[in-house]
Amino acid sequence: MKYFLSIFFIIAISNSQSRIGDFQSISSFANVSSALFLDSVLVGVSESGLIFLNTEDESIKTVSIDEGLSYVGLTHIHKDRKDNLWIGSDKGIQVWDPQKNVLIDHYELDIEALSGFVNFENFIYSAAKINGLWGIIEFRYVEEKVYFRDFYQRPDLEKIHKISFFDDKIFVLSSNGLIAGNPFQNHISTWSNPLEQINGNVIDFQEDNGN
């Protein structure tokens, strides 16, 4: 998937040189590790920062430290319910407003690794490793302000591969198997496998609810 995204952005950049100028500077953004759509705009993250490709007019825009990011080397991107972009890496988490083109906030939190984000009501959760332990980080919107709430550790998990949301539960796929729970009802330490009746290990899953 990463290879396909990178090839897609490289082709788009090559076709847009008459309008965006220097190929070498823009192409450094093309090694995309993750991407999503904001309406007709495809947004990717890379080692150099954010790259925005408008699929209607094929225009390209990049955002890096000079445009307001606190750091680059980005690996994950997520759109919350306010259409703000959550950008993750082992350097931390940044929240970018693509409408105003400003950084809302950034959180370092001693993150060593990160594997994704999920929306849950007015909260955003991220699966991350901090100080040698995997767990989920909780953020909350209060009006337009984002607040870091807590990091809920799960010491028995060797690694979290993926985090997702379905119905009223957050699902976490780890090297130890699948666990799920509602963070408003139960601490992550009590979450268990919701599919115990299925024989064999779950190796992947896909949400289908528009989040």
For residue range 27-63, list pLDDT tens digits in order.
667 788 899 999 999 999 999 999 999 989 888 899 9
Mean pLDDT within 140-166: 94
HSE-up (13 A, CA, CB side) for residue 120: 25
**Which pair of tokens denotes residue 56?**
């209607």
Q: 12 falls in which pLDDT band (50, 70, 90)?
A: low
Give the pLDDT score at 210: 47
End-to-end Cα distance, the chain: 20
Q: Quote the CA–CA distance of 136 and 75 in Å, as a whole number.
A: 17
List the single range of 27-31, 38-42, 146-150, 152-156 with lowest mean pLDDT.
27-31
pLDDT for position 209? 46
DSSP 3-state of 11: helix
Q: What tokens appear for 57 in the block?
A: 């007019």
Q: Is the pLDDT assigned to residue 198 strictly greater than 60? A: no
* pLDDT reading at 64 higher than 50: yes
Dist. CA 179–CA 153, nearest whole Å: 14
Mean pLDDT of 130-154: 95
Select the more confidently predicted residue: 17 or 30. Answer: 30
Q: How would residue 5 be classed by pLDDT, with cut points 50, 70 and 90?
A: low
Q: How confident is the model at residue 144 (pLDDT cuts 50, 70, 90)?
A: confident
Burial class of residue 163, CB neighbours in 10 A (0-12, 13-18, 19+):
buried
196-206 burial code (b ≥16 CB/10 A, e <16) = eeeeeeeeeee
Counting every residue, how long is the chain?
211
